Amino acid sequence: MNIPAAARAQAQDLLDFIAASPSPWHAVRECERRLQAAGFSRREESERWTLTPGSRHYTVRDGASLIAFSVGAEAAAGLTLIGAHTDSPGLRLKPKPAEVAGGMLRLGVEVYGSPLLATFADRDLALAGRVTVRAGDGFESHLVHCEQPLLRLPNLAIHMNREVNEAGLKFNKQTELPLLLGVAADGANAEARLRQPLADRLGVDPADLLTWELVACDTQKGCFWGVDGEFIAASQLDNLASCHAALTALLAAPPAVSPSSGTRLIALFDHEEVGSESAAGAGGSFVADVVARLAASAGLDAEDQRRMLAQSFFISADMAHAWHPNFPAAYEPGHHVLVNGGPVIKSNANQRYSTTAASAARFMSFCARAGIPCQQYTHRTDLGCGSTIGPIVAARLGLASVDIGSPLWAMHSLRESAGVLDHAYLIAALTEAFTGQGGAAAR
């Protein structure tokens, strides 16, 4: 299969983005870095905002949710919004995780969201996230990433787990998931052994580390695979691939200054994998607050704000279940979506996805104008369907919405895989939605 150089470069840029984003807080910092390099300026939620047409800004709520926008010349023309999530399921350290068990030092973890737990076994794990450090009478928040292999969840040998290949690899979440950190030293404080590498990374006194939110992250970098290098594998493709595509589309769009151009906005939320019900999550007020400030800045009254929302369109971008030839029984026979077959429109009559016939047709028209294929997915009727931020944001704002995303294998594995062409297609479709110029990006 021929992979154009431009598509390969976009996939490589995604792998670089993921390498810089071992935690949702790092993902937002990497988005910030790219936004600032492109001339977007940060606005604090605690300040008064004055937003002029053509200006480009972003704001961050609680470190792991970010909204960036390019202010349109015609506010009442409505917004084009693209949403995705920054968090991924996995293992997170408990507040006091260190314990000694039979002479070994291990760290207790909580399960965040719904990871494929077996994929965390026998991998070279590290730690990333944010910590608070004492500063005078108060504290400062810092990001930290210990990049060397630090932790491991060794499997039990097959000689002690004879049924594993028939019964599946199972871990008791309380007793069998703690991650090994080292050999317990006589008389040494177990927690001090965890604090030392974190303090070393930050250049602070270990005693000044107050609290942490740390994820067990993979140390293996993403890669291309397949006979023609037509696939990529990495951690957190769900949903950093959609964050990267949305950000890339926004950065590629020129400032929205033509008289008819509406506002373009991307909303990257934390906490999707645990239900979105938080101050910074899609179920919170974040996106509604930013939209209200955009309307107020443009001088829209309450009537015009509602006219604006009635003319707005939300694209919820999250990964879709790619057809896996080894497991045909898992799929709805009429809705196989193929890796490298183009973005997927996801539909569910029970509104687990926000797609309607009209919003699906609208997204199809973006793909058609960009000159790329697109596919349609629905889950098997006898299997429970996942959900996304699509229905949540659509309900909060009361606007037209579609759920789409790139095909993905092994959703919620520590190492997921997807198609190189699909990522370029997704960027092209989202660029088309923002500017009507996605065709150029696809070629």
Sites of contact with Co ion (CB under 5 A): 238-239, 318
CB of 237 to Co ion, least distance (A): 9
Bridge partners (DSSP) listed for residue 357: none
The rounded distance, in Å, linking the Cα atoms of 271 and 25 is 12
CB of 119 to Co ion, least distance (A): 16
CB of 138 to Co ion, least distance (A): 36
DSSP letter, residue 352:
S
Closer to Co ion at the Cβ: 131 or 282?
282
Question: What does the chain come to in residues?
Answer: 443
Backbone phi, then psi, for 193, in 5-degree steps?
Answer: -70, -30
Peptide bond just before 239 cis, omega within 30 deg: yes
Closer to Co ion at the Cβ: 287 or 408?
408
Closer to Co ion at the Cβ: 316 or 375?
316
The rounded distance, in Å, linking the Cα atoms of 44 and 66 is 11
CB of 238 to Co ion, least distance (A): 4
The rounded distance, in Å, linking the Cα atoms of 202 and 208 is 11
CB of 258 to Co ion, least distance (A): 34
Closer to Co ion at the Cβ: 222 or 405?
405
Among 62, 207, 195, 201, residue whose Cα is nearest residue 141 = 62
> 345, 402 in Cβ contact below 8 A?
yes
CB of 267 to Co ion, least distance (A): 14
Closer to Co ion at the Cβ: 56 or 412?
412
Pairing state between β 231-234 and 416-419: antiparallel
Amino acid at 207: A
Q: Longest C-alpha distance within the chain, in Å?
A: 72
